[in-house]
């Protein structure tokens, strides 16, 4: 049983690292050749979901973290700081992107909702499957 838990943690760590790289690349690389569909507010929804998933994957990367609120809060703080850094880098390093305060708000809300969602369902789901 311990081996299964360890393998699950390794899979989530791989997912967390992969997701972090994906968010970084998606945030800093220009996609001018990709056709754009303009939906009002969709950009903020994407930012929200990016950071919601970010917090969930990093929280799941180590099972013991479900029960240690300080570790989970640290992940949220790191996600928020990471989002702020990415927004600053968009304004400094890219010509096709710009830093946006409301993106930071969407990132932060996604991170907080990810934490709250995990906190609310941890006993119901994680004790059964992990």
Question: What is residue 1's predicted lDDT score, i.e. its pLDDT?
Answer: 46
Question: What is residue 49's predicted lDDT score, i.e. its pLDDT?
Answer: 96
Q: Which residues of the chain have pLDDT under 50?
A: 1, 65
Residue extents of the structural domains in the chain: 2-129
Q: How far apart, in whole angstroms, are the C-alpha atoms of residue 37 and residue 71? A: 38
Question: What is residue 103's predicted lDDT score, i.e. its pLDDT?
Answer: 94
Q: How far apart, in whole angstroms, are the C-alpha atoms of residue 111 and residue 55? A: 6
pLDDT digits (tens, 9 = 90+) for 38-50: 655 688 999 999 9
Question: What is residue 128's predicted lDDT score, i.e. its pLDDT?
Answer: 56
Q: What is the pTM of this model?
A: 0.81
String of b and e for 49-81 (b: at least 16 CB within 10 Å)? ebbbbbbbbbbbbeeebbeeeeebeebbeebbe
């Amino acid at each position: 049983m311990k081996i299964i838990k360890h393998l699950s943690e390794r899979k989530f760590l791989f997912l967390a690292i992969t997701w972090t790289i994906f968010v970084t690349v998606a945030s800093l690389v220009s996609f001018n050749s990709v056709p754009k569909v303009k939906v009002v507010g969709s950009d903020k929804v994407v930012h929200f979901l990016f950071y919601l998933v970010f917090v969930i994957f990093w929280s799941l990367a180590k099972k013991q973290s479900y029960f240690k609120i300080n570790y989970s809060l640290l992940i949220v703080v790191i996600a928020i700081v990471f989002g702020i850094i990415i927004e600053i880098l968009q304004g400094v390093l890219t010509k096709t992107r710009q830093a946006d305060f409301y993106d930071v708000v969407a990132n932060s809300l996604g991170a907080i909702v990810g934490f709250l969602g995990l906190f609310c369902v941890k006993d119901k789901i994680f004790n059964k499957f992990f």
